[in-house]
Structure 1
Amino acid sequence: MIKVQNITKSFGKLQVLKGIELHIPQGKLYSIVGPSGAGKTTLLQIMGTLSKPDSGHLEIHGQSVFKLGERRLAAFRNQEIGFVFQFHYLLPEFTALENVCIPAFIGKKSKKEAEKKASDLLQFLGLEERMTHKPAELSGGERQRVAVARALINDPAVIFADEPSGNLDTKNREDLHDLFFKLRDEFNQTLVIVTHDENFARQSDQIVRMRDGWIES
C-alpha cells in the first residue's frame, strides 16, 4: 500500500533521513516513535507528499507519487491522502461543517455532495449538534474530531497524523485514539501516526522506532 525505498533527506549539512525502507499494508495502523530529532515528522511529510526527498522512491496505492507533475501530485494528495496535525488548523471564520467541506470543494465536488458527506462524517464522530459552531465554540477534542472528519471527506487511501493528541487532555486523547482504531477496524482505513504516546503505540499493528535518521525496528 505504502512503499518507502531508500529515502534520504538533508537540510543543509544535516542529514535527517539516511536511507529509510518501510512497507505499510492496507488497513493497518502504524505508529512512528522516537526521540526529538529522529526524523519522524520529516518522514511523515515526505510520505504525505508535503516534502520531496533528496533521493529514493515512494509509492502509495500503486502510484509512484514523485513522478507526477505538481498539478497531478496536488490532485493525488487531495484525493488519496488525509492529514491530522497536532494543531487542528481549522479556519476560524468557518463552521465545523464548512471546514470539513473544504477538501471536497478543492476536489471539485458539488456543494450538495460535499455537505451531505461532511454531515454524515460529523454525525459519525458524534458532532451532529456542533455542525454550525465555529472552532472557537468547540472544545479541543471536538476541534480535533472536526479535523479527522476533514481528513476523511474525500475517502483517502491513507491518513497521516503528526502528534494528533499532543494538545488534548487524557479523556479526549483516549477518545481520539479509540476513533483511530475504529476507523481501522470498521472502514479498513490505513493510518500512519507519529506519536510520543507509548501506550497508544503498543496497541498499533506495528511500531516503527526511529533514531538519528534510521529505522531501528
Structure 2
Amino acid sequence: MVEGVKINKSFGDLRVLKDIDVTIGEGEIVSILGASGAGKTTLLQILGSLDRPDSGEILIKGNPIHKMSESALARFRNKNIGFVFQFHQLLPEFTALENCMLPALIGGVNKVDAIKKAKELLGFLSLSDRLEHKPSELSGGEKQRVAVARALINNPLVIFADEPSGNLDSKNQEELMSLFISLRDRFHQTFVIVTHDQHLASRSDRTIMMRDGSIIS
C-alpha cells in the first residue's frame, strides 16, 4: 500500500532521515516508535505527502507521489489519504457535522451526499447526538472521533495519525486504538501511526522503531 525507498531529508545541516526503506501492507496497522528527534513525524509527513523528501521515492498503491505536481498531489491527497493529528485540527466555528463533511465538499461531493456520509460515519463513532455541537462543546475523546470521521469521509486508501492519543486520558487512548482496529476490520483501512505509547503500539500489527533518522527494527 505504502512504500518508501531510500528516503533522505535534511533541514539545513541536520540530516533527519537517512536512506529510509519502509513498506506498509494493505490493511495493516503499523506504529512508528522512537525518542523525540528520531525522525518519526518527518517520515510520517513525507509518506503522507505533506512534505517532500530531498531524495528517494514514495509510492501509495503504486502511485509515485514524489513525482506529482503540487496540484496533482493535492487532488490525490484529498481523495486517497486521511490524517488524524494530536490536536484534532477541527475548525472551531464549524459543527462536528460540518467539520466531518468538509473534505468531501472540497473533493467535489455534492452537499446532500456529503451530509449523508458524514452522518453515517459520526453515527458509527457514536456521535449521532453531537452532530450540531462545535469543538468547544465536545470532550477530548469526542473531538478526536470527529477528526477520525473527517479522515474517513473520502474513503482514503491510508490514514496517517501523528500522536493521535497524545492529549487523551488512558481510557480514551484505549478506545481510540480499539476504534482504529475496528475500522480496519470493517472498512479495510490501512493505518500508519506515530506514537510514544508502547502499550498502544503493542496493539498494532507491526511496530517500526526509529533512532537518529534511521529504522533500527
Please, what TM-score do these two structures have when normalized by structure 2?
0.99
Shift of 1:110: 0.3
Residue of structure 1 in register with 2:95 after alignment: 95
Say which SS state the counterpart of residue 120 (structure 1) adopts: helix
Shift of 1:172: 1.0
Say which SS state the counterpart of residue 23 (structure 2) adopts: strand
Residue of structure 1 in register with 2:183 after alignment: 183
Residue of structure 2 in register with 1:137 after alignment: 137
CA distance in 2, matches of 1:209, 1:170: 22
Please, what TM-score do these two structures have when normalized by structure 1?
0.99
Q: Does 1:76 align with 2:92?
A: no
CA distance in 1, matches of 2:209, 2:200: 14
Q: Does 1:149 align with 2:149?
A: yes
Residue of structure 1 in register with 2:119 after alignment: 119
Residue of structure 2 in register with 1:35 after alignment: 35
Shift of 1:185: 1.5
Shift of 1:70: 1.1
Residue of structure 2 in register with 1:10 after alignment: 10
CA distance in 2, matches of 1:182, 1:19: 34
Say which SS state the counterpart of residue 129 (structure 1) adopts: helix
CA distance in 1, matches of 2:109, 2:188: 24
Residue of structure 2 in register with 1:85 after alignment: 85
CA distance in 2, matches of 1:100, 1:185: 21
Say which SS state the counterpart of residue 208 (structure 2) adopts: strand
Residue of structure 2 in register with 1:210 after alignment: 210
CA distance in 2, matches of 1:172, 1:53: 34
Residue of structure 2 in register with 1:52 after alignment: 52
Cα RMSD (Å): 0.6
CA distance in 1, matches of 2:197, 2:180: 14
Q: Which amino acid aligns with 2:105?
A: F
Identity across aligned pairs (percent)? 62
Residue of structure 1 in register with 2:65 after alignment: 65
Q: Which amino acid aligns with 1:69?
A: S
Residue of structure 2 in register with 1:128 after alignment: 128
